[in-house]
Amino acid sequence: MKSEVKFIAFKRSFVASLLTTAAAVAVASCSQATSERVAKAPAVKSAQVANYQGTIARVRRMTPEQYHNTVAYIFGADIDVGSPFAPLRRTDGLLASGAASVGVTTGELQQLQRSASSIAAQVIDKGSLDQHTPSRRDFLVPCKPVDENAADDACATKFVKEVGRLLYRRPLSEARVAEFVSDARKGANDLKNFYAGIAGVVEGMLLDPKVLLIADTTEPDPEHPGRRRLDAYSLASRLSFFLWDAAPDDQLIKDAESGLLFTAKGRAKVVDRMLASPRIEQGTRAFFDDMFGFEDFGNLAKDASVYPVMTGATIKDAREQTMRTVVDHLLTRNQDYRDLYTTRKTFMSPALATVYQVPTKPGWVPYEFPADSPRIGLLTQISYLSLHAHPARSSPTYRGKALRERLLCQKVPPPPANVDFSILENPNPLLKTARQRLEAHRANPVCAGCHKITDPMGLALENFDGAGRFRAQEKGADIDASGSLDGKEFTNVVGLGQAMHDHPQLTSCLVRRVYSYATGGPLSSADDGAITALNAAFGQAGYRYPALLRMIATSDAFYEIVEPAGETKAAQNSVSGQSETTAVTK
Amino acid sequence: MKNLIQKTAFAAVVMGGFGMATTVASADEAVPGLQNRTIGYVLTSANWGLYQTPDGKQECPDGFNEGPREQFKALYPNLGTVDGTQLERESASRYPMDKADNFPYHDVKGKIGIGLNLDGKVGENDFTSTDGEKGIDNNLYRAIGCTRLFRAPDGTYANFTDLWVREMNFNRVLVELTNVDSLTNDPAVDVTIYRGRDKLMTDATGANIMPGGSNRVDYRFGKNFITHMKGKIENGVLTTEAADVHWPWAVFLGRPGAYDFKGARFKLALTGDKAQGLMGGYSDIDTWYMQLVRSWSTHHSSYGGLSQPSFYRALHRLADGYPGPDGKMTAISSVLNIKMVQIFIEHEGQKVAAASDAKAKAAH
């Protein structure tokens, strides 16, 4: 009991010391990153660079998935991380971009502390035969202390160096290692347990802003005098969070150490290794889950009396089906991105098959809808149809809005505050189909403006109810699924799929989103050149997604740093030089 | 397109005494489950066909049967040793003919019953269905209808059997109709009973089994449950010729077992989503009794007023079909009320059919 109290006191004191510096470091990182970006005006050396200059340096918070994936890589996938993060605010179409402008509340900090404490306890867990749990300490701590009941600086140093390098995404300075070893020693001596000291260090590391925040640190670019670039470790982090949705692995940090990332050939080799890794699926899933707004599945509920087929398993599998389709189409088969909206190939599970009304087998199996099926592309999958619908009815408006905003990067204005929804929510029974009800609703000119933007393509999906099940009729009336999309007319959902496939903004939207995701924040006019160049290159590559990833990841712009528009003057007043993180590690 | 769209029109049909009205569907509604002239159904509920009045006085004017507790009290008013009382009486369930049983047994005495005319005759003791069909053969009802254990909703038998049907994969009965041109009228269809391998899926309410699932045929351990029948569909009602059926019936704790029906046949109202009706036949009485005594312990029997030794005698007394070499009847006419939902039946070794939404095709 006594030792437990001591342990808690030790943890509190250690964590408090870290938290005290946390805010300061975060602020320092931000301001110094800004100062780094603007230290010197970028020089234009070639036409390519002129069009495709670079990105601004940012500080962003790890997303929950990135934190989870990082912990899983370092300590094992069986570590229970919990849910310590508050939700991110969708910014410029992506949650990931919201991570670049997010604060950490006191409540969230408490959650993070609990999570860190729990993870640390799991890392040093000695296991239990009775509970069939493994001794994690035996394989996560790379050495055995001479005496388990006492401090062991040599072993602690080995652990701190190995784990710290992965968590901080760069080697720790000798001074920092010494600090951690000292903390571990104090904890071990106070608690008479080597592993208790290690746990305190792990908890402290996990709470360190330098771990939780992904700060772009910059340095002068010797290839382009007068300009700045990401330092090798920040570049490694940017690559890893972009492609794998996790912190760099051991090899990538070695590549950063070796200078490989700063030669075009070396960077291409590194990127190719990352693209060939199975972890690219994790990164691809993370991006598309974000772009498609699939976090909304967490709140999706359907009226069981109206859609009894829509079970919890159906909802879970609907999300997974789309992710499997995306991964298979874009990565496994390396197909044209546009074909995702016309493909009939997907995967089927028993829970989904009841909605699609097709036979299947247990588990996930590849499935292809016949050529004459109305199931064509992602828009006709249950995920899209059910996510963009009401709990008890379909919604052409939601579906059209999502199509424009999520997939074409267009903006649909919100409804006016005084809009009258009564025609839709308490409709005239003679108005049997959604088309009829919306026509009546659009009779109000206040409503007509926006609905003209969303409804013509949303109505093409009316053959699918709010659960995504096919229907030829609504309340006994035949459904007219004709529509149009930006000047292209069609008679049914097959035409909509083709119109999406051919829409020029379909691919340019993907480019925008991927580039934004890759560089860690919303785009600005400074990125226009890059986007233009990438759009052209993406087309030349046959709209292959891996090619787009490679283009971005191997480009100079990916590590070149430019000043954000409008910040030049303010930044000129700040001090230029190496960022705090860079200074520590070099 | 037309060959894939089966137009169905279901007349309201009332079958037997169960008051089984079929769904009336639009004549233009396609049937997604009917693909390649085949439609499958999976069993979701099975209960022995009992016609019940609210207080039971009509069919059981002499009251309900007494169970183990009442009989024990009568047999051993002064109690005695365990082996001389409790063990002696319990062994009577397994060896019912070892000692005389003089307790009265109340048969059903009503005239109305649920079932099928299995022998094609209208006999003096036959029941009349609630819709007036005469010649209904269901002597099992006569044997169990005045025993509370079997009566719904309070008897535990009905409750448990539905639970077993849904939750035990061993009891996964699949019925596949092939060569189907119409679910409304088709003079010749083939009907096959299989045992399936997979779980059933409940809907979002948690109360109902969803139609539209898939289930694989158990060709490995389920071969002896496969039965082929010829049938026809008239006004949305399937009737089949008679065949001997081995019907899976696992009980408490998943212990496998079966009922053996001789001359069994279906009468089912069909829709694209479900099939509901009767499966009648002559149940082998020894199998039936063994199924009962191996699964219903004394406490269940006590709650339900079931004396197994007394019931054994009633079963043999009321058996009315398939005489053995000694001239004694070996089977008793019976009927199961069954409910099924549409399911895609997967045959081992076959690829998943590349089927699409049949309804969808109507629109394209």
* Segment 201-220 of chain B within 8 Å of chain A by CB: 201-205, 208, 210-214, 216
Contact criterion met (CB < 8 Å) for A311 and B203: yes
Nearest to B263 by CA among B134, B45, B117: B117
The ipTM value here is: 0.78
| Residues in A touching B33 (Cβ below 8 Å) | 357
Chain B residues with CB inside 8 Å of A375's CB? Answer: 356-357, 360
**Interacting residues of A523 by C-beta distance below 8 A, sequence separation 6+:** A92, A512, A515, A516, A531
Q: How many CB pairs under 8 A join A and B?
A: 110
Query: Which H or E element spans position A368?
Result: strand A365-368
Q: Which residue is it, tokens 């489950």?
A: B33
Three-state SS at A144: coil
d(CA B25, CA A507): 45
| Residue A405 · residue A387 · CB < 8 Å | no
Report yes or no: A222 and A263 within 8 Å, Cβ to Cβ: no
Instruction: Find out whether A214 and A233 touch, Cβ atoms under 8 Å.
Output: no
d(CA B120, CA B280): 13
- What is the layout of strands, in order, in the sheet containing A218-220? A218-220, A228-230, A560-561
Task: Flag if A365 and B208 touch (Cβ within 8 Å).
Answer: no
User: B208 to chain A: which residues are within 8 Å by CB?
Assistant: 308
Q: Do B356 and A359 touch (CB under 8 A)?
A: no
Q: Quick check: B214 and A350 CB within 8 A?
A: yes
Average pLDDT over residues B320-346: 97
> Are residues A215 and A37 in contact, defined by beta-carbon separation less than 8 angstroms?
no
Q: At what angle do helices A2-37 and A174-191 cross, to 10 degrees?
A: 170
pLDDT higher at A584 or B217: B217
Helix (H) or strand (E) holding A79: none
- What is the model's pLDDT at position A132? 85
Chain A residue closest in CA terms to B40: A359
**Chain B contact for A467 (CB, 8 A cutoff):** no
Average pLDDT for residues B297-323, to the nearest whole number? 94
* Cβ-nearest to A470 among B202, B346, B360: B360
Domains: count for chain B? 1
Return the closest-CA partner of residue A380 out of A318, A435, A436, A295.
A318
From the list A302, A309, A361, the residue facing B346 with the nearest CB is: A361
Q: Where are the beta strands (DSSP E) in chain B?
A: 39-48, 173-178, 186-195, 213-216, 227-234, 237-240, 243-248, 258-270, 274-284, 321-323, 329-346
User: Is B27 near chain A, with CB under 8 Å?
Assistant: no
Cross-chain Cβ contact A375/B32 below 8 Å: no
Taking the Cβ of residue A472 and every Cβ of chain B, the question of whether any pair is shorter than 8 Å is answered with yes
Distance from the Cα of B301 to chain A's closest Cα (Å) equals 37
Whether A355 sits inside 8 A of B212 (CB atoms) is: yes
Q: Cβ of B24 under 8 Å from any chain A Cβ? A: no
How far is the C-alpha of A515 from the C-alpha of A92, rounded, in Å? 12
Domain range holding B54? Answer: 2-362
Neighboring chain B residues of A470 at a CB cutoff of 8 Å:
357, 359-360
Amino acid at A65: E
- B241 touching chain A per CB within 8 A: no
Q: With an 8 Å Cβ cutoff, are A357 and B357 in contact?
A: yes
Residue among B201, B210, B360 whose CB faces A463 most closely: B360
Token code pair at residue A263: 């030669």
Nearest to A359 among B202, B355, B360 (CB): B355
Nearest CA in chain A to B31: A357
Helix and strand counts by DSSP (H, E) for chain B: 8, 11
CB B127 within 8 A of CB B141: yes
Q: How many of the other CB atoms lie within 10 Å of CB of A173?
A: 14
Q: What b/e sequence results for A17-29 when a residue is b if at least 16 CB atoms lie within 10 Å of its CB, and e otherwise? A: ebbeebeebbebb
Contact by Cβ (8 Å): B140, B283:
yes
End-to-end CA distance of chain B: 9
Q: What is the DSSP string of A373-410?
A: -S--SGGGSHHHHHHTS-SSS--HHHHHHHIIIIIS--
Tokens, residue B83: 């082996």
Answer yes or no: do B201 and A350 touch at CB < 8 A. Answer: yes
Q: Given CB atoms, is B30 within the 8 Å cutoff of chain A?
A: yes
- Cβ within 8 Å of B, A 335-354: 348, 350-351, 353-354
User: What is d(CA A504, CA B215) in angstroms, rounded to the nearest whole number?
Assistant: 44
If you measure CA to CA, which chain B residue comes closest to A479?
A: B363
Touching check for A373 and chain B: CB below 8 Å? yes
Nearest residue on chain A to B347, alpha-carbon basis: A361
A484, A458 Cβ separation under 8 angstroms: no
b/e code A260-272 from CB counts within 10 Å (16+ = b): bbbeeeebeebbe
What pLDDT was estimated at residue B350?
A: 54
Q: Is B126 helix (H, G, I), strand (E, B) or coil?
A: coil
Is some CB atom of chain A closer than 8 A to the CB atom of B32? yes
Which chain B residues are closer than 8 Å to A361 by Cβ?
A: 214, 216, 346, 352
Which of A314, A316, A349, A358 to substitute to test the interface with B, most B CBs within 10 Å? A358
CA distance A267 to B296: 73
pLDDT digits (tens, 9 = 90+) for B99-145: 888 899 999 999 999 999 999 999 999 999 999 999 999 999 999 99
Min CA distance, A202 vs chain B (Å)? Answer: 44
Query: In this structure, are residues A53 and A530 in contact, taking their beta carbons and an 8 Å threshold?
Result: yes
Lowest mean pLDDT of B20-29, B217-226, B353-362, name the range: B20-29
Length of chain B: 364
In this structure, which long-range contacts are made by residues A209-213, counting pairs with CB atoms below 8 Å and at least 24 apart in sequence? A209/A21, A209/A22, A209/A23, A209/A25, A209/A26, A209/A29, A210/A25, A210/A29, A210/A168, A210/A581, A211/A167, A211/A168, A212/A61, A212/A62, A212/A67, A212/A104, A212/A112, A213/A26, A213/A29, A213/A59, A213/A60, A213/A61, A213/A62
A309/B212 CB distance under 8 A: yes
Task: Give the nearest partner residue to B360 out of A353, A361, A374, using CB atoms.
Answer: A374
Q: Distance (Å, rounded) from C-alpha A177 to C-alpha A157?
A: 7
Any CB–CB contact under 8 A between A477 and chain B? no
Q: What residues of A are in contact with residue B354 (Cβ under 8 Å)? A: 368-370
Q: Which of B357, B359, B361 to mutate to test binding with chain A, by most A CBs within 10 Å of its CB?
A: B357
CB burial of residue B324 (10 Å; 0-12, 13-18, 19+) = exposed
Cα-based distances in Å from B67 to A52, B53, B161, B299: 90, 21, 20, 10
Distance from CA of B244 to the nearest CA of A (A): 29
Using the beta-carbon criterion (under 8 Å), do B214 and A351 form an inter-chain contact? no
The torsion angles phi and psi of A488, rounded to 5 degrees, stand at -100, 120
Consecutive 10-residue averages of pLDDT for chain A (586 residues): 42 42 36 31 33 81 95 96 90 93 87 96 93 90 96 98 97 97 97 97 96 95 90 97 98 97 94 97 98 95 94 96 98 98 97 94 95 95 97 93 95 78 70 75 71 86 95 87 92 95 97 96 87 94 97 92 60 33 28
Question: If we measure between CA atoms, which residue out of A257, A213, A250 comes closest to residue A235?
Answer: A257
* Helices and strands (H, E) in chain A, number of each type: 27, 11
